A and B are shown apart, each in its own frame.
Chain A
Amino acid sequence: DTGVSQDPRHKITKRGQNVTFRCDPISEHNRLYWYRQTLGQGPEFLTYFQNEAQLEKSRLLSDRFSAERPKGSFSTLEIQRTEQGDSAMYLCASSRGGPGARSYEQYFGPGTRLTVT
């Protein structure tokens, strides 16, 4: 169990550029979540996958945002035409999904900090 990893850890981009982040979950976890956290706020749910299926998207996820999880393993989060308001920490978490109260416990990666200039 190597934990959840995210890449890159930091990204600085100019307004209008596209960016893509990657998340590698814990290998036996079939659920993967994306959250966004702005300065001084708690994280906010963006979307989640069970295996390769994207089962829920927040209204926060505008049409500039797209997430994929091909083959139910790693996931990517792409932001097109970035805006300064997209500057935030993007957090990924994974969990098992199934019987048992602890089976949904989420394990978080270190996050990707995005700065849009």
Chain B
Amino acid sequence: KQEVTQIPAALSVPEGENLVLNCSFTDSAIYNLQWFRQDPGKGLTSLLLIQSSQREQTSGRLNASLDKSSGRSTLYIAASQPGDSATYLCAVYGNNRKLIWGLGTSLAVNP
């Protein structure tokens, strides 16, 4: 059974720092992996989708990497801003392409 783990559960950094959020999964036979952002009490915003054949994707200050063999993905946020404060969720596409989720990393960027 696929399990997704995110470390750390919470992170607090000063504005301007570069940071890395980690996601690991137990079954390397995934299709794709997707990172989402969720603001308190709100729905999900897709940040990056990494196809199973890719090793990384970039969008603005965000870079996500994927290493299927080791069961890991990282989300790198450059030059963090207070507006980046949110919960970041990692999800893998499993059987029937349904998403299997981690518990998220709660990020606070302090001005």
Contacts and interface: CB of A to CB of B under 8 A. Distances in A.
A32 B3 CA distance: 22
Contacts, number: 64
B103 A42 contact: yes
B44 A101 contact: no
A65 interface: no
B52 A44 contact: no
Contacts of B102: 42
A111 B99 contact: no
A56 B96 contact: yes
Contacts of B31: 101, 104
Contacts of A106: 34, 97, 99
Given A43-B99, A45-B98, A108 B104 contact: no
Given A101-B53, A102-B49, A102-B51, A43 B101 contact: yes
Indicate the member of A33, A56, A105, A113 with the most B CB atoms within 10 Å. Answer: A105
A101 B41 contact: no
B43 A48 contact: no
Interface string B64-88: 0000000000000000000000000
**Size range of the interface on A?**
20 to 34
B43 A91 contact: yes
A97 B99 CA distance: 14
12 contacts: A43-B44, A43-B91, A45-B98, A91-B44, A97-B97, A102-B32, A102-B49, A105-B32, A105-B34, A105-B49, A108-B46, A111-B43
Interface of B: 4, 31-32, 34, 36, 41-44, 46, 49, 51-53, 89, 91, 93, 96-104
